[in-house]
Structure 1
């Protein structure tokens, strides 16, 4: 007799693994569920997966936007370092507010101010800023890699759950047909 379910992982970072149901009847008997309850449970699990997917996709978008910003900051620090020993001023345009720019002449290129978030800005030497930004870039890339793996795992669980829902539904339809053909047809009375 085939086993009722098999699973390679029980969860990944809090995302429960979906069990593939090989034998629907055995699964229903072992779980003590009727078809409607099993389908309701599976639909609920599918909705939970979809909510987690939306959350992970939002995190992915945030990281994908953050990485180019960090790279841009690293480029600015590199430009400041390159100009530092030349004695030349750096002339640049910077954004004051959305769509409004001003021109600036930078004479002292020994330090740079970085926004850390929550309206906090700190001044760093160019070397410290470069090291901090490089570390942030590596962390963001590593986080993105983990997120992509989480999303792939989640998509696999969604697929398994959708297939399971279809299998349970199809099994139920098949059982109903068997019951219909097994019941004798009413013969007309003469």
Structure 2
């Protein structure tokens, strides 16, 4: 058997086949060594591009989760002080590096940015439910992303090992051909 028979993929990421026997792999694939190496290098490059995209998504989610948690903490503080006449003094970021101080009086609703320059007003209970749902979805998405990255790293490793095996097999074949060719004397 020349390659593993697993041709599965994970969320659109094709699985790399582990090559046990290079010669059989080349003959079954109808490839010469240079074509096989070019194909494998291209696949490796595709894996790297996907890895960069997944890492960017992971960074975005890792930044999003603390923001959601901060919003939930602020809502909890608002709700805890809802029935008291105590004002809350809060500092908030207006723009990057620019902060302002606000006095928040008793409120039953909050406004949340939904993205795409859209802000909606929600009751505190609705906002809490929405944010908890968003937090749960973000954490679940992060788990899937981490699993995808692990799968992808395995595929990169398998592809790198296959490239090394094909290259080493080619070097070995060249040496055998060179040893089999009688040297002409001067």
TM-score range, shorter chain: over 0.9
> 1:78-118 deviations in whole A, cap 9, x for unaligned?
00000001121212122222222222221232111100001
- Pairs aligned (count): 186
Q: Is the 8 A contact 2:7 2:17 kept in 1?
A: no
State how far apart, in whole Å, the 1-side matches of 2:94 and 2:29 are: 62
1:53 equivalent in structure 2: 51
Does the Cα contact within 8 Å between 1:4 and 1:23 map onto a contact in 2? yes
Please tell me whether residue 108 in structure 1 is matched to residue 110 in structure 2. no
Please tell me whether the aligned partners of residues 83 and 106 of structure 2 are also in contact (alpha carbons under 8 angstroms). Answer: no
- 8 Å CA contact 2:58–2:142 kept in 1: the answer is yes
Quote the Cα distance in structure 1 between the aligned partners of 2:99 and 2:27: 69
State the alpha-carbon separation in 2 of the partners of residues 31 and 9 from structure 1.
14
SS in 2 for 1:93: strand
Q: How far, CA to CA, are the matches of 1:168 and 1:77 in structure 2? A: 59
Alpha-carbon distance in structure 1 between the residues aligned to 2:41 and 2:7: 21
Match of 2:18 in 1: 20
Structure 1 unaligned spans of 5+: none
Aligned to 2:177: 179
SS at match of 2:81: helix
Structure-2 separation of matches of 1:117 and 1:67:
15
What pairs with 1:37-116 in structure 2 (closer than 5 Å)?
A: 37-116=35-114
Counterpart of 2:168 in structure 1 is: 170
- TM-score, normalised to structure 2, is 0.97
The answer for the alignment partner of 1:146 in structure 2 is: 144
Give 1:133 shift.
Answer: 0.3
Task: Answer whether contact 1:17 1:157 (CA < 8 A) is retained.
Answer: yes
Structure 2 residue runs of 5 or longer lacking an equivalent are none
29, 32, 43: which one pairs with 2:30?
32
Q: Distance in 2 between matches of 1:114 and 1:149?
A: 31
Cα distance in 1, alignment partners of residues 163 and 96 from structure 2:
49
